Structure 1
Amino acid sequence: MEISTETPWLTPAQQVSWRDYMVGTTALIDQLDRDLRQMHGISLHEYEILVRLSEAEGHAIRMAELAASLSHSRSRITHTISRLEKASYVARGQCSDDGRGVSAVMTDAGYAALREASHTHVEGVHRLLIAQSSDQELEVIGRVFARVLETLNCPRLPA
């Protein structure tokens, strides 16, 4: 792919939309994180790891796959898994398929914590985003970000 040397400056309307997007997504993520921390003592990032583990076969995922699926570095995942281990929400174990890798495995306590926190998280997403949008607007957002993920070669999560 050839990169243009011409700068595609944003129109005033595009600039407003871009800035609203940047500030809005930051504020939304910060509020969802704050709610989970205050009500359940876990971060949004920790919550998302618990969600991924809850959806995985055997509630276990290789650490490298988990890092890739979240678009985070392995060291960031390692630190977060360490915090979740201290809370007894996750344990590390050898990968069952080849014994070489390390998997994060959700514990019963982790599953219980996720069930408890999920109400807070989903209520926040609904109140702060879903209730502010029509079904058509949400479809457009979904289509746009599906293309963004494709352009960035990021895998989409299953519904």
Structure 2
Amino acid sequence: MTTRWLTPEEQRAWRAYVAGYLLLEDAIDRQLQQEAGMPHLYYSILANLSESPERRLRMTDLAESLKITRSRLTYAVTRLEKDALLRREDCRWDKRGSVAVLTEEGMAMLERLAPGHVETVRAGLFDRLTPEQVGQLEEIFTQVVGGFQDDGEALPEELPWRRRSSGCSGSP
């Protein structure tokens, strides 16, 4: 099999993407660490739960929403649980699974952090783009996400939330 090396244009685009992603993620992490001592992932967990019916999601669904492994989610949820920002409950419809539930304390924390988070995202990304570029960004990454699916069916080996690890995942 012959390696399909990146063209110079593709290499520049790839490097620009990686640099931009890392710088933006670092800015968001720094802002959230300064304001609440939490990484971006923890904020994303709280935000996802806040947007879910009854502020609860099955752990497997939460991992899928965040595009992370179940073991990484379990670690983060355990930390957020210690801080009383969420709690885990047994899944009523699947005895093997569990559900993450946003607590009132977690919602209050999210409401306190949201303005700074949005300002960091806006300043680091959207204030630098034209409305047309925002549309292009959405179109590009919708296409990228679609590339990890086969005719609408997810490829299990490619998706992080379906990967098993040696540790306990907290969900089936």
Q: SS state of the match for residue 17, structure 2? A: helix
Paired AA for residue 30 in structure 1: D
What is aligned with 2:166? none
Q: Deviations for 1:39-83, whole angstroms, at most 9, x for unmatched residues?
A: 122210000000110011111111111112212111111110011
* Structure 1 residue 11, shift from structure 2 partner: 2.5
What is aligned with 1:62? 58
- Return the structure number with greater relative CO, CA threshold 8 A, min gap 6: 2
Greater shift in the superposed pair: 96-105 or 37-46: 96-105
What is aligned with 2:97? 101
Q: Give the alignment partner of residue 23 of structure 1, picking from 6, 9, 19.
A: 19
Q: Give the alignment partner of residue 46 of structure 1, picking from 31, 35, 42.
A: 42
Unaligned runs of 5+ in 2: 160-172
The alignment covers a number of residue pairs equal to 151
Paired AA for residue 125 in structure 2: L
What is aligned with 2:117? 121
With structure 2 as the length reference, what TM-score do the two structures score?
0.82
With structure 1 as the length reference, what TM-score do the two structures score?
0.88
Greater shift in the superposed pair: 12-21 or 119-128: 12-21
| Aligned CA-pair RMSD | 1.6
The reply on whether 1:76 has 2:67 as its aligned counterpart is: no
* Structure 1 residue 9, shift from structure 2 partner: 2.5
Q: SS state of the match for residue 89, structure 2? A: strand
Mapped partners of 1:135, 1:96: distance in 2 = 44
Greater shift in the superposed pair: 98-107 or 73-82: 98-107
What is aligned with 2:82? 86
Q: Which aligned segments of 4 or more residues in structure 1 are displaced greater than 4 angstroms? A: none
Mapped partners of 2:43, 2:6: distance in 1 = 36
What is aligned with 2:108? 112
* Structure 1 residue 101, shift from structure 2 partner: 2.0
